[in-house]
């Protein structure tokens, strides 16, 4: 158990850093992934606009976010509990591996964090006719920020408002 102690804090610190970075990144990332579909015999030319991480994050249930933070805190308590050998004072067992006190809340934190948000992110999009999308591009209402990534360029927020009134799949 003594060899595991430093690595436990490293694991907890890494997950906490990922959690905080993802929280900040997802709440502020307003870029939409856009996929272009050529005209075929069955459909006209169109663009598929995926929901942005910021919209998905705002649509995620508050319970999932609260539970993720709660289990993150419980995870740290578990890591401290095991790494400082407090578990040996409270549990008189010959088995001294109580790392599940830390790893179980960590797994629950990850599950709550990713579970609700990722299903929203992967399930929601809007189809746009090609002429509308190209008009927005010509009027500079949207701007390309990567190979398939677009962002609203002005206060009209045409991409953002595509999801107004849309039934968000959670």
pLDDT recorded at residue 32: 93
pLDDT recorded at residue 114: 81
pLDDT recorded at residue 51: 93
- Quick one: pLDDT band at residue 92, thresholds 50, 70, 90? low
pLDDT recorded at residue 68: 86
> In this structure, are residues 52 and 58 in contact, taking their beta carbons and an 8 Å threshold?
no
> Could you tell me which residue, 89 or 102, shows the higher pLDDT?
102
- Quick one: pLDDT band at residue 6, thresholds 50, 70, 90? confident
Q: How far apart are CA 39 and CA 31, in angstroms?
A: 25
Is residue 10 over pLDDT 80?
yes
Q: How far apart are CA 10 and CA 16, in angstroms?
A: 10
9 token code pair: 């804090």
Is residue 1 over pLDDT 70?
no
Backbone angles phi, psi at 27, to 5 degrees: -70, -20
For the stretch 112-168, pLDDT in tens is 888 777 888 888 999 999 999 999 999 999 999 988 899 999 877 999 999 988 888
For the stretch 35-80, pLDDT in tens is 999 999 988 999 999 999 989 888 887 888 888 889 989 888 887 7
pTM here is 0.74
Q: How far apart are CA 166 and CA 123, in angstroms?
A: 12
């Amino acid at each position: 158990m003594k060899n595991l102690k430093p690595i436990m804090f490293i694991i907890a610190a890494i997950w906490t850093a990922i959690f905080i970075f993802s929280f900040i990144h997802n709440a502020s990332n307003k870029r939409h992934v856009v996929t272009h579909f050529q005209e075929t015999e069955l459909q006209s030319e169109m663009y598929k606009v995926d929901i942005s991480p910021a919209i998905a994050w705002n649509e995620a249930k508050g319970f999932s976010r609260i539970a993720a933070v709660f289990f993150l805190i419980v995870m740290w308590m578990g890591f401290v509990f095991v790494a400082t050998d407090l578990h040996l004072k409270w549990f008189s067992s010959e088995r001294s591996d109580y790392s599940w006190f830390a790893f179980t809340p960590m797994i629950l934190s990850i599950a709550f964090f990713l579970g609700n948000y990722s299903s929203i992110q992967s399930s929601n999009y809007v189809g746009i006719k090609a002429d509308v999308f190209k008009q927005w591009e010509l009027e500079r209402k949207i701007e390309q920020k990567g190979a398939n990534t677009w962002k609203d360029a002005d206060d009209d927020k045409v991409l953002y408002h595509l999801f107004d009134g849309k039934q968000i799949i959670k």
